[in-house]
Amino acid sequence: MPPRPASGARPLNEQEFHDWLARALPAGKEGLLPLGDDAAALVPPPGRVAVLTTDALVEGTHFRRESPPEWVGRAAAAVSLSDAAAKGSRPAGLLLALLLPVGTPRQWARSVVLGADRMGRRFGAPLIGGDTKPSPTRSVVSTVVGWGRRGHLAPRAAARAGDVLVTTGTVGRGGLAACRWASSVRTSRGRPRALRNLLEVHPRVREGEELARWAHAMLDTSDGLADASRLLAAASRVRVVIAEARLPLERPLRQLPRAARARAVVYGGDYELLAALPAFAVARASAAVRRVGGRLTVIGWVEPGSGSWLQHGRGRERARREPMPPGGWRPFDAGRRVRGRG
């Protein structure tokens, strides 16, 4: 059912909305083409290649109807920024398409746009264009254009046996947000904060640009570390081994029962970077990531073989391995639930 405007809320009018965009966003005055033109134009820096990525957030799948619209916009920009970061690119511009039911409140759309623009500007990618269209369901489609370096794009298919696996940040942040949301539903406490947590994404743009100098392969963990490790192993035709004891878990997860903690770890929505580096580069990469305010943790290695494996215990010889447990976001699976992020 299309959303009904709250009492006194003005429904969205496309032309009025476009006029507001041109007035409200500085990119409409600063760009090579004004905001609202048929296209946007950017000048690539010398020696760089264009890196483009797009993503979509859909109400009922990635965010809830009552989610704060500014946070929906923030998350929409952030998930595309995270993909751009995984190729070591420097973001330059953001495009946003709003697909909205007739009668959507004007303020909802404005808040989404402002949230996306603020997130993009944090990383040098202001809103430079987009579109609005009527749709049965609220959806927000974001596209980021960035500049990368040829030969330093860290494709998923380039991990090599002997590489060391590293991750930025922590593991299980998305799973922890889901646990806190479930708790708020049961207890009716902390729901506003839990809704925001579901949409909280910290794209590792600066870390990605540093890691791309050494990484053979890199990808973001939008669908969780388990899913990312399987994608890396399949694309590179290698065996990926992750040591459970080395995982930098979100601290509150350590207080959960083991089964709940294991589910949270593979739930998805972490939006960190998983990279395969040559062993000689780990110390330098860690120092570079620290200089931009990030954190890097060695969590495993790459060897000949196939598949993604989770190793329990310490020591490669005595430890026990098992296939990486299932996890990751599957929006087309039957019985899915709203996760809150892309």
pLDDT mean over 250-268: 86
Residue 7 in this model has a pLDDT that exceeds 60: no
pLDDT of residue 25: 79
pLDDT of residue 17: 81
Tell me the whole-structure pTM to 2 decimals.
0.90
Domains of the chain, each with CATH number or no CATH: 14-148 (3.30.1330.10), 156-323 (3.90.650.10)
pLDDT of residue 160: 98
With residue 312 as reference, give the H or E element that holds it: strand 307-312
Q: Shortest CA distance to 77 belongs to which of 256, 202, 229?
A: 202
Q: What are the residue ranges of helices labelled H in 144-281?
A: 173-187, 191-198, 205-211, 225-236, 258-265
Determine the Cα–Cα distance for residues 124 and 175; give it in Å rounded to an integer: 29
Q: Classify the phi-psi angles of 7: left when phi > 0, otherwise alpha if psi is within -120 to 50, otherwise beta.
A: beta
Q: What distances in angstroms separate CA 273 from CA 18, 150, 167, 225, one per listed residue?
A: 36, 20, 6, 9
pLDDT mean over 18-36: 72
pLDDT mean over 227-253: 95
Q: Using the 8-state DSSP alphabet, how is residue 38 labeled? A: S
Q: Give me the residues paired with residue 321 across strands.
A: 311
Q: Shortest CA distance to 119 belongs to which of 164, 160, 61, 76?
A: 76
- Helix, strand or coil, per DSSP, at residue 119: helix
Q: Is the dihedral of CA 215, 217, 221, 222 positive or negative?
A: positive
Q: Shortest CA distance to 106 belongs to which of 5, 16, 11?
A: 11
* DSSP string over 306-329: -EEEEEESSSTTT-EEEEPPP-S-
Q: Shortest CA distance to 206 belongs to which of 107, 335, 86?
A: 86
Determine the Cα–Cα distance for residues 8 and 124; give it in Å rounded to an integer: 36
CB 62 within 8 A of CB 339: yes
Average pLDDT score over the chain: 89
Cβ neighbours for 180, distance < 8 A, ≥ 6 positions apart:
190, 193, 194, 197
Q: Give me the residues paired with residue 54 across strands.
A: 143
pLDDT of residue 338: 46
Beta strands 239-243 and 307-312, pairing class: parallel
Q: In angstroms, how far is CA 155 from the centroid of its own chain?
A: 17
Residue 177 in this model has a pLDDT that exceeds 60: yes
Question: How many Å is the Cα radius of gyration of the chain?
Answer: 21
pLDDT, tens only, 292-329: 999 999 999 999 999 999 998 766 556 789 999 887 66
CB 195 within 8 A of CB 64: yes
CB 86 within 8 A of CB 155: no
Determine the Cα–Cα distance for residues 276 and 76; give it in Å rounded to an integer: 27
Higher pLDDT, 88 or 7: 88
Q: What distances in angstroms separate CA 221 from CA 107, 161, 275, 331, one per listed residue?
A: 32, 21, 10, 16
15-29, 108-122, 188-202, 247-261: range with highest mean pLDDT: 108-122
Phi, psi of 277 (to 5 degrees): -120, 150
Q: Which two tokens stand for residue 322?
A: 């098992």
